[in-house]
A = this chain, B = another copy of it.
Amino acid sequence: MADDLAKKGMELRTKLFGAKAAAAGHEYLKEFDEDFANFLNEQLFGGIWTRPGLETKTRSMITMAALMALGRGPELRVHMRGALNLGITHTELKEMIFHLSQYSGVPTAVEAMRAFREVTEPKKPKA
């Protein structure tokens, strides 16, 4: 069953981040601690993200909402890339940022805007 979850975890991560980034992310976590890497792959990505009851796209939106509200910049960038791969549009990301500026404060929206710009315009220098 752990094997099954591990497989589902890598499939979900591949859907979000692409095969290469999914594998690299897992390797990077394993270099730190193999058990923690497996926990995240099997329980978080394989177990939780693949549960029925909420679409992957909706899971991506609420994940980004929480990351933006909490000011978790690097993880927000990772999940914005995932969101774009899932087909979430630029407009949807912008609306999420504008909307949540009122719930977690404008500074979290400005930080999310910086993340959005980096993720969508990678060639432009970060302002």
**Chain A interface (Cβ < 8 Å from any Cβ of B):** 1-2, 28-29, 31-33, 35-36, 39-40, 43-44, 47-49, 51, 53-54, 58-59, 61-72, 74-75, 91-92, 94-111, 113-114, 116-117, 127
Contact = CB atoms under 8 A, between A and B. Distances in A.
A77 B51 CA distance: 24
How many identical chains are in the complex? 6
29 contacts: A28-B127, A32-B113, A32-B116, A32-B117, A43-B43, A49-B99, A51-B95, A51-B99, A53-B91, A54-B91, A54-B95, A58-B58, A58-B61, A61-B62, A62-B64, A63-B65, A63-B100, A65-B65, A65-B69, A66-B100, A66-B104, A69-B69, A70-B70, A70-B71, A72-B105, A72-B108, A72-B111, A102-B102, A104-B104
